[in-house]
Structure 1
Amino acid sequence: MTCEGISQLISTEPLPEKEAVWTKLVKKIYKDPNGVTRIWESAERTTRPTNCDIDGVSIVAIVEKKTGPEIVLQKQYRPPVDKVVIELPAGLIDEGETAEEAAVRELREETGYVAEVLETSPVMFNDPGFCNTNLRMVHVTVDMNRPENQDPRPQLEENEFIEVFLVPLADLWEECIKFEAQGYAIDARIANLAEGIEIAKKFRF
């Protein structure tokens, strides 16, 4: 099932604290380097597992093809921006899971692909000026010769509407530009990855 033509924002209204399930707003009081007491408004997730240092994972899944490596991307409607967003597969970490275990599980649930882990990034903060949400980027490879990857079938929850597609890694920057022109929102993790590839091309490293 695709994500387009399905979701539509109906209204936006304040969220009472007692109704919040995933997040909460907090007031941070701190002193700056000059000793001045200041206040900062921020949001926090309430779902981070006990004794875990991250909220979730984002997955850079590379499919090796004869024509060159391709990256697994998704289209998913996101109410906060009221747009379909071009994203990497991602998800929250479960109690007792490692980042790598969460990445393999989430990738299979959201895309149907079974992958092998290559490496895991340091902890990254999504928007530290606004919230404490963080994650690790897990790099994986998808072997298309594996029987499980011949006909990948996502295992989506009833409230998930995700369209999975592949893009040549070398063309990621150009594809992001095209998607934006078509009205999609681009997740910063994809944009940063694409920008990094372009910088590497330009400076030849």
Structure 2
Amino acid sequence: MASINKSKVLKVEPLNHNDAKWATLVKITYSDPEGVQRDWEASERLTRPKGSAIDGVGVVAILQDPAKPNDSPRILLQKQWRPPVNATVIEVPAGLIDPKESPEVCAVRELKEETGYVGQVVGDDFGVSPIMFNDPGFCNTNLRMIHVTVDLSLPENQNPQPTLEENEFIETFSVTLKDLWDECRKFESEGYAIDARVGTLAEGVECAKRWKLH
């Protein structure tokens, strides 16, 4: 596979509202707590299926080997170049939800398509997160984070092969979960961009370590 680092932005130009396929700009008129009428510029996704509460999912996939119970758990990450930031981004597997698809099914499907791994959603109430908004001051895009375990002893996970679309160039790798904060620092120093979902997860792990939340 050609290195995604060879990707580059060639041109940036205004997008006509009628040509937008995935997102659009809107002006929201609202009344503040003092009754003053104000305007707000925002972006809205055009891809959310009818009846769905979310646009998509992010997948926290933890690799586990039953034969090595004392090994530190590893989290599955990806490198993917993103045109809006003109950089290769460190991300978790993620994707848009299909019509009438549950978040859990979407997560397992996207994980298999993007990484080749077959995962299982955590069975308790930690499996599916509350709905999260990526940047509520700018857009209505939202998602649920789905927590998944990947059993490395299963035959289907011995030689995982992704089934990427022709415009997807994704490199999959893993790091130890306890070192995620340090890894993010390292990637940033090497010129990578850090997806907020990865950075926030890393920050949470680091907070738990520093303030001994266990």
TM-score, shorter chain, exceeding 0.5: yes
- For the residues of structure 1 that align with 2:156 and 2:20, how far apart are their CA atoms? 38
Q: Give distance in 1, aligned partners of 2:168 and 2:19.
A: 21
How many Å separate the matches in 2 of 1:185 and 1:98? Answer: 30
- Of 197, 201, 208, the residue aligned with 1:189 is 197
TM-fit CA distance, 1:2: 5.5
Pairwise CA distance, 1:92: 0.1
Structure 2 CA distance for aligned equivalents of residues 45 and 188 of structure 1? 19
Q: CA deviation at 1:96?
A: 1.1
1:146-185 alpha-carbon deviations (Å, 9 max, x no partner): 1110000000000000000000001000000000000000
Q: Where in structure 2 are the equivalents of 1:1-205 lying within 5 Å? A: 1=1, 3-65=3-65, 66=68, 67-118=71-122, 119-205=127-213
Q: Structure 1, residues 70-105: CA drift from partner, whole Å, max 9, x if none?
A: 000000000000000000000000011000000000
Aligned length: 205
Q: Normalized against structure 1, the TM-score is what? A: 0.98
Q: Which amino acid aligns with 2:11?
A: S
Deviations 1:110-156 (A, max 9, x none): 00000000100010000000000000000000000111100000000
The TM-score with structure 2 as length reference comes to 0.94
C-alpha separation in 1, matches of 2:200 and 2:97: 23
Which ranges of structure 1 fall in alignment gaps of 5 or more residues? none
Segments of 4+ in structure 1 off by > 4 A? none
What is the alpha-carbon distance in structure 2 between the residues aligned to residue 16 and residue 103 of structure 1? 33
Q: Which runs of 5+ in 2 are unaligned?
A: none
Q: Indicate if the aligned counterparts of 1:3 and 1:84 stay in contact, CA closer than 8 A.
A: no
1:5 positional shift: 3.3
8 Å Cα contact 2:5/2:81 also seen in 1: no
Q: Which amino acid aligns with 2:204?
A: G
Check whether the contact 2:103–2:146 (CA below 8 A) recurs between aligned residues: yes
The one-letter amino acid paired with 1:109 is E
